[in-house]
Chain A
Amino acid sequence: MDAPLPASPARRRWLLNTGLGGAATLAGALGAGSLANLLNARPAFAADYKALVCVFLYGGNDGMNMIVPSDTSRYDAYAGVRRGLAIPQASLVPLAGIPYGLHPALGGLAGAWADGALAPVFNVGPLAQPLTKAQYRTAAPNSALLPGNLFSHSDQQILWETGSPDPLTRTGWGGRAAETLATLNPVISVAGTARYGSGLLQAPLVLPGPGATFGAYGLQPGDTWAPQLARKAAIDALYAQAQDADLADAYTGAQRNAFAMSARLAALVKTQPGDSGALPAIDAAFAPITAAGKITTGLGRQLYQLAKLIAGNATVQGSRQIFFASMGGFDTHGNQIVTGSPLEGDHARLLKELGDALGAFHAAMKALGLGGAVTAFTQSDFGRTFAPNNSAGTDHAWGNQHLVLGGAVKGGTSYGRYPELVLGGGDDVGQDSWELQGRWIPSTSVDQYAATLLGWFGASDSQLDTVLPNLRNFGAARRLGFL
């Protein structure tokens, strides 16, 4: 289905350069009226609702300890390199049917595995094209064969969020998908203004957590006292005025949009567990991470908010919605484990928060009968070095293991190719003695991972090529099969 918004680079350039009084912002050029009004004019999809939930793990999650091979020869190879960081084999959460186990802190996902709603995807990372070790080693500096600025947090976060090998890419693959597929709302983020949700024209809609007041005091639709109405009229006039700077036009567009969104969503955003407007099915699912009426973890609060927004589709509107949530703190250069106690430490704490929150979210979706309509997936800056450093931690690497979760997921099996556990081996970027740390060249690209998710979400092949321009470099292997 074609969207009236720009799909071709040429049309995008036209819009950016269009001489509307020199304004480089579409919203500003249109004058009064919010971007939301513009976008509401587009056709919505049919009634079957689908949602994608990106859970970004900032800092670089150590996938090698998140999911561990459990067959003897590979476990021994793993433990031989990981030494003090190795998770004891007997502690792994078994994944029936595949020779792998989860870090015990992810016990909250055991139910999803049993439901067939969970699948690992192995050795995923940013690539410009399929890449062999020989090509990596002989590539000239700044070669187009390689993604840019490997091993740098900010650049790799951008590559994952934008689905591009170029760290200068301005838009996220979530934002581009929302515009190309003409979803009613932009990407909705409950974790701040990440580039994942930025489109060419639209910023993501950033909402606060449960219990928060999402609105301007005194200027809500229900505030009808005369001096407040007069203030609102003045504010509206200030926001309707064309500005003399592009950043100011972007600002006023965002302000008008915020008021419109607040009018629609404020009540839904505010509901907390146990409130009269709360859904018992969601509250019950999140009960294991609720104490004294409040969700106990940051990701838990974010996913509770998303569960409400999904269930509240009649208010949020739209039949296709992309969401963004995140956790931070995964950059475990040190104290990844507690020396002598590999099941304790920062990584275990982070994985527990992740597993419990995702487990609650999955239970909520099932209880609402939306299990097959919602797919959650992890992303992260990069995996971490297979070999530990001297600070009980690991350093920046590349290809990583990820998880996809939802009723539509073809779970119970694994996808992608698990790396060969040999330092300096065929999958490790390193060769010389001083660089044998186990940084895996990805065997699956972010493009393929995203294309599989978006294909399920409703994107046609040509829309996939628009949102993920590098996808064509991966030939026929654009759907990985987990959806």
Chain B
Amino acid sequence: MNPAETTANAARRVAVLAVTAATLAACGGGSSGGASDATTMPLATATPVSVRDAVRLADQASFGPTEALIAAIRAQGPAAWIGAQMGLSVSRYSSGRGGEVHQYAVKDGDFCADKGSNCWRDWSSTEPLVWDFYRNAVSQPDQLRQRVAFALQQIVVVNNLEVSGTYGFRLYYNNLLDNAFGNYRQVLKKVALSPVMGDFLNNANNDKAAPNENFARELLQLFSIGTCELDSDGRLKGGACSATYGNDTVRAYAYALTGWTYPAGGATAWGCWPAGMNCRYYGGDMVPVAAYHDSAERKLLAGVTVAAGSAAPAALEAVLDSLMAHPNIAPFIGKQLIQHLVSSNPSPAYVARVAAAFGSGRFGSIGSGQKGDLAATVAAVLLDAEARGDTVARSGGKLREPAQMFAGVLRALNGRTDGDALSWWWGDSLREHVFRPPSVFNFYPPDYPVPGTSLVGPAFGIHGANAALERLNYLTYLLDRGGSSASADVPGAVGTVVDLSAFTADAADAAALVDRLSVLALGQALPAAPRDQVIQAVAWWTDKTDPTYWQTQRVKAAAYLVFGAPNYQVQR
């Protein structure tokens, strides 16, 4: 954390709150009227946003800075820019085929027989959604929503390893995009009713006779409250882990969540089983089946009880009420949002401020006032003093996760992608193949300890000697080997390429070129000693060593070294 809040930072924080109130009232994002922050701050005039702070915000709230984005953030200020982002229309996923893959009823037939060689890819896999993910990440304007949805999908995790059906995943992830600035209770409700989640964690067709505990357990452990009781600042209550629940509670939730089946619409050659349940089908919310729902009284957490005789929908509402009322949910979810967007090791005070926004549903004049408001929570994450300003504590920052790095370099260098090279190739190589985390525990845990430090670094959980070198190899691929050309196999393909033409104009002055790229990537110049070496490596290229391409070669060398630098790879 910033050890002592400087006057400049305090003034800036006040300023953004003032701008927030004015801007968001205009956008309709919250009630009209002035700032009503509980810790009433006097209003002050806005101070201009530094390049460094603008780049920090771009790294936190988008998939990475571009020169245009830096200028926009500096012109509007962080709060106004965030408010504008929250008001943009949603870039939803639209690729991939439909529900027919779960409606095939031909005995001894093969659904894929007449569908060509991309049948599995287009009807069953999440590959078409990867195209949408990266197209959105690199080129679409609703950057903050795409980042928040990416964070949410790493909390309420499903994967394409164990369940398949492109149309189902498309609905699932579009729900996260739609609710990214809505309420977390609604996120949990759509997740609990999702037939994809129901299939993935065995709550679809879960039967009161011998309930499967898988979904109930992970709903508590991963999606809402976690396993240890927390103070509002995210620290363990009492300094050690007190279990939030025992096995008997998991079973109570499992019983309460029984009695749901797939929505109608699916078909197989052998009918639908078990009797009374629908066939596997992902084309909508799950539907209740009274005969399979346990209707005994069940004691849940936070003093909530499912009344005897309740039907499945009422029991689900009680489940959601109990989780939203639990004191853990605000710090548990709030801290993870900070970790995904800003910093792996937020100070307890920072977590407490974000948890307060989640809990009250308001940050300044952003938010509905209902607990779980994600717009308020995200604004609290991004506008906090620990996220803003030019300097970061030694415990600050996060290792740029691979998907963020892929998109970030492309954005900065005016590139474009159809995502095709970033899934089975680079995604697998760096162990972040989007939509295919190895389990419900995501690609990495939120508390991965970094050896040699006292800190956690979630993305270090998929890092290692091989990944260390592959990060550089991604840059070689993109810059020296021209990336990937458009594949005839991918609809609307554009390949994965950068466009260095905007930078070759500065190539004649190697130092200026290096500094321009450093300011773009880092918001500041490189430290002096490596900066000299980088300039030397760039300046090797001259009209003597490569008469035709020396300017482009200079840009490639400079970009490789700036984006390969630890200063970029570890976002601060």
Binding site for B on A (CB under 8 A): 16, 22-28, 35, 58-59, 141-142, 148-155, 166-168, 170-171, 175, 189, 192-193, 195, 198-208, 212-219, 226-227, 230-231, 233-241, 243-255, 257-259, 261-262, 328, 331, 333-334, 388-391, 393, 395-396, 434-435
Asked if B372 CB lies within 8 Å of chain A CBs, one says no
Known contacts A154-B441, A245-B570, A251-B570, then 17 further A-B pairs from the complex at CB < 8 Å, ordered by chain A residue: A28-B452, A58-B439, A141-B242, A142-B240, A231-B561, A234-B536, A238-B534, A245-B392, A245-B396, A247-B344, A250-B451, A333-B212, A334-B212, A389-B211, A389-B212, A393-B202, A435-B247
Top 6 closest A-B pairs, CB basis? A206-B464, A390-B210, A170-B449, A258-B468, A230-B537, A237-B533
- A164 nearest CB across to chain B (Å): 13
- B399 nearest CB across to chain A (Å): 6
Say whether, besides A206-B464, A234-B534, A200 and B451 are in contact (CB < 8 Å).
yes
A23→B395 CA distance, assembly (Å): 10
A27→B392 CA distance, assembly (Å): 21
Give 17 A-B contacts (CB < 8 Å), ordered by A residue. Answer: A22-B394, A23-B394, A28-B452, A142-B243, A170-B449, A193-B460, A203-B450, A204-B464, A213-B473, A227-B541, A230-B540, A237-B529, A238-B567, A245-B397, A391-B206, A393-B212, A435-B251
Q: Which residues of A contact B207 (CB under 8 A)?
A: 390
Query: Are B439 and A237 touching (Cβ within 8 A)?
Result: no
**Of the 9-residue stretches B67-75, B166-174, B213-221, B321-329, which lies at the interface with chain A?**
B213-221
Asked if B527 CB lies within 8 Å of chain A CBs, one says yes
- B295 nearest CB across to chain A (Å): 15
A27→B450 CA distance, assembly (Å): 12
Query: Are A168 and B212 touching (Cβ within 8 A)?
Result: no
A210→B564 CA distance, assembly (Å): 26
Query: Are A24 and B394 touching (Cβ within 8 A)?
Result: yes
Asked if B43 CB lies within 8 Å of chain A CBs, one says no
For chain B, give the interface size range: 35 or more
Asked if B7 CB lies within 8 Å of chain A CBs, one says no
A250→B461 CA distance, assembly (Å): 13
Asked if B276 CB lies within 8 Å of chain A CBs, one says no
Asked if B398 CB lies within 8 Å of chain A CBs, one says yes
Q: Which residues of B contact A250 (CB under 8 A)?
A: 450-453, 455, 457, 460
Say whether, besides A25-B453, A199-B451, A246 and B465 are in contact (CB < 8 Å).
no
Q: Which residues of A contact B398 (CB under 8 A)?
A: 247
Asked if B109 CB lies within 8 Å of chain A CBs, one says no
The residue from B247, B527, B561, B564 contacting A150, defined by CB atoms under 8 A apart: B247
The residue from B227, B242, B541 contacting A155, defined by CB atoms under 8 A apart: B227
Asked if B248 CB lies within 8 Å of chain A CBs, one says yes
A247→B339 CA distance, assembly (Å): 13
- B452 nearest CB across to chain A (Å): 5
- A413 nearest CB across to chain B (Å): 34
Q: Which residues of B contact A152 (CB under 8 A)?
A: 217, 221, 227
Query: Are A248 and B566 touching (Cβ within 8 A)?
Result: yes
Question: B431: nearest residue on chain A (CB-CB)?
Answer: A192
Say whether, besides A207-B465, A234-B534, A248 and B567 are in contact (CB < 8 Å).
yes
Q: Which residues of B contact A231 (CB under 8 A)?
A: 537, 557, 560-561
Query: Are A215 and B469 touching (Cβ within 8 A)?
Result: yes
- Interface centre among B213, B398, B431, B441, by most chain A C-beta atoms within 10 angstroms, is B213
Say whether, besides A149-B227, A250-B457, A389-B211, A243 and B247 are in contact (CB < 8 Å).
no
Q: Which residues of A contact B530 (CB under 8 A)?
A: 234, 237-238, 240-241
Say whether, besides A206-B466, A238-B530, A24 and B453 are in contact (CB < 8 Å).
yes
Query: Are A255 and B566 touching (Cβ within 8 A)?
Result: yes
Asked if B26 CB lies within 8 Å of chain A CBs, one says no
Query: Are B250 and A248 touching (Cβ within 8 A)?
Result: no
Asked if B209 CB lies within 8 Å of chain A CBs, one says yes
A396→B228 CA distance, assembly (Å): 19
Asked if B246 CB lies within 8 Å of chain A CBs, one says yes
Query: Are B202 and A391 touching (Cβ within 8 A)?
Result: yes
Q: Which residues of A contact B250 (CB under 8 A)?
A: 151
